[in-house]
Structure 1
């Protein structure tokens, strides 16, 4: 089965919408909580009580620990710090998608594969979009914020490599149990860098809405998102499902503009078009080339 049903397409769209709009939710939670404490709470709720009901996946502890550290302390730790006044939510949702190219680079470095022409074109197109963002840094988007989100994308890519090495496993259980390694590191980093007083003050001033935001990231973004997305990937070819991920920054930038009033000047739209365009080239070029090539046994005309 390669053509996705309308019901399953809506499920995929719901996941992408949750992942994209989550950048606005993060921004709301950061109004009360220090970024590393927010990450600690997010992964704590992802771990407890779910680990009581999900058996530990059959994967090496080193793999689980590596994934937890890369995604917890790496991806979300850096992303939350960046979004705490260093980059707007909409641009963060766009820039972090460069994880695709970091994943390609890591895979090539580990396997010795060479960069193909279409991949080079895709990287250059997206890099042009990042250059547009870098050229327009200001009070809402700094060079430091851009670099932090690129760091988050790079550590996300490392997590992708570990996920691939883990093989066919229950991805929800994998995310839940890897959180056990993320939580203590994030807590210690928060304690060292943000301080006990700031941590206590953040918890005390957190409104019910802030706790809903934390729960949303843990349960909707992590558990529902991974469960639904991987269920779809188990039923359909990856080439059928993964193109919908290109809508994540669309939802992210749109939600940021609607709910937070983030402006969308022409340069942001150009940057978004270039980054998403590069991702699209990387995704669709092999499929287009395969479709254009004569099938095996067909006469060459």
Structure 2
């Protein structure tokens, strides 16, 4: 039986989460006129923290981890949430949106596939290479088929380097969670690294709180925050990490290419932006590549079960 049929719900989870993140470009665009990006990002993750831990307590009966693991997740949160999210914001500031989108998204799965053997027992197969190449061509057409195109001007060099760095660090961030999810649930791992990512991000927001007209916030602002906290963070991170653990990091990260495709559709729905023929062609290439990847049989080496550990010296 093909892997896609056997693990259909996990592939559906990856696609759904990527679509949620892509749609958020349209949902959150207006909110960023009210909130500075770093403050909005902090609210998204910070407000999600208590819900993560309440859900964890309810589902698993405890929230604790050994101190050694807590320190690991603190480092993962610092790099993968605080550093990564700030780098994304500044990459958009110092280069074009098309440049940032392409360099943030396209290389990420490639680095995940290349670095995967350092963290987990996954191999870079011929099917993954072929499907990944088709998906890369597709996402390139989707992003560059827009109005901006790719700009190689030296004025954008800092932003381009930051965007490319996001792909490298983001891939390592995803992979670093995989060994921990062999011992602890995706919910527990997500709760702790998002806690630390939020704490480390707080100092960067200190100059932003006074710039918001809090009394003037309307239903649209609160709805956007709820969507970001509940859907884009709590639900999305748990589903993505659980699906990634089952499917494997190398395959899963190619499904990030659904993000820019959904962002284009969100632009059409929310802002009446157009979709070009090149973007439609790109969507076909991308879909074909992802289907091809998902039909590969999963290696036995990545089927480690999730098990919970408790050790003395754990954080209660």
Displacement, 1:161? 1.0
2:33 is matched with 31
Q: Any gaps of 5 or more consecutive residues in structure 1?
A: 289-301
1:254 alignment counterpart: 265
- Contact 2:106 2:136 (8 Å CA) reproduced: no
The structural deviation recorded for 1:156 is: 2.7
Aligned mate of 1:48, from 4, 25, 50: 50
- Using structure 1 for the length normalisation, give the TM-score: 0.68
SS at the partner of 1:263? coil
Alignment of 1:1-301 (within 5 A): 15=17, 17-51=19-53, 54=56, 55-57=63-65, 60-82=69-91, 86-87=96-97, 92=101, 96=105, 98-108=107-117, 115-129=124-138, 132=141, 144=156, 148-166=162-180, 167-191=182-206, 196=207, 198-202=208-212, 204=214, 206-228=217-239, 238=247, 247-284=258-295, 286-287=296-297
Counterpart-to-counterpart distance in 2, 1:77 and 1:48:
22
CA distance in 1, matches of 2:140, 2:200: 33
Query: Cα deviation per residue 1:57-95 (whole Å; 9 max; x = unaligned)?
Result: 45712321232123312443333445569427xx94996
Contact 2:76 2:173 in 1 (8 A): yes
| CA distance in structure 2 between the partners assigned to 1:280 and 1:146 by the alignment | 30
Question: Which sections of structure 2, spanning at least 5 residues, go unmatched?
Answer: 57-62, 299-316
Q: Alpha-carbon deviations, 1:184-233, whole Å to 9, x = none?
A: 33233345xxxx1x442136465442233223212112212344556678
The CA deviation at 1:44 is 0.7
Evaluate the alpha carbon distance shift between residue 98 and residue 181 of structure 1 in structure 2; reply closer, same or farther with a 3 A threshold: same
How much has 1:117 moved relative to structure 2?
4.0
Q: Tell me, in whole angstroms, the C-alpha distance in 2 between the residues paired with 1:230 and 1:7.
A: 13
CA contact (8 A) 1:23 1:92 kept: no
Return the alpha-carbon distance in structure 2 between the equivalents of residues 188 and 44 of structure 1.
13
Q: TM-score, normalised on structure 2? A: 0.66
The answer to whether the 8 Å contact 1:100/1:279 transfers is no
Once the two structures are superposed, what CA deviation does each residue of 1:237-287 show, in whole Å capped at 9, x if it has no partner?
Answer: 639x96987655443322221112232112333444445544444443x34
Structure 2 contact 138–281 (Cα < 8 Å) conserved: yes
Give the total of aligned pairs. Answer: 279
Q: State how far apart, in whole Å, the 2-side matches of 1:221 and 1:13 are.
A: 13
Q: 2:258, 2:241 → 1: CA distance?
A: 17
Q: Is the 8 A contact 1:66 1:159 kept in 2?
A: no
RMSD: 4.5
The structural deviation recorded for 1:45 is 0.7
Comparing 11-20 with 200-209, which one deviates more in the overlay? 11-20
Superposition deviation, residue 164 in structure 1? 0.6
SS in structure 1 at match of 2:274: coil
CA drift at 1:104: 0.8
Asked whether the 8 Å contact 2:143–2:260 carries over to 1, the reply is no
Distance 1:12 1:135 in 2: 24
User: Is the 8 Å Cα contact of residues 246 and 280 (structure 1) preserved in structure 2?
Assistant: no
Query: Per the alignment, in what secondary structure is the counterpart of residue 33 of structure 2?
Result: coil
Q: Is the 8 A contact 1:98 1:150 kept in 2?
A: yes
* Higher alpha-carbon deviation: 156-165 or 198-207: 198-207
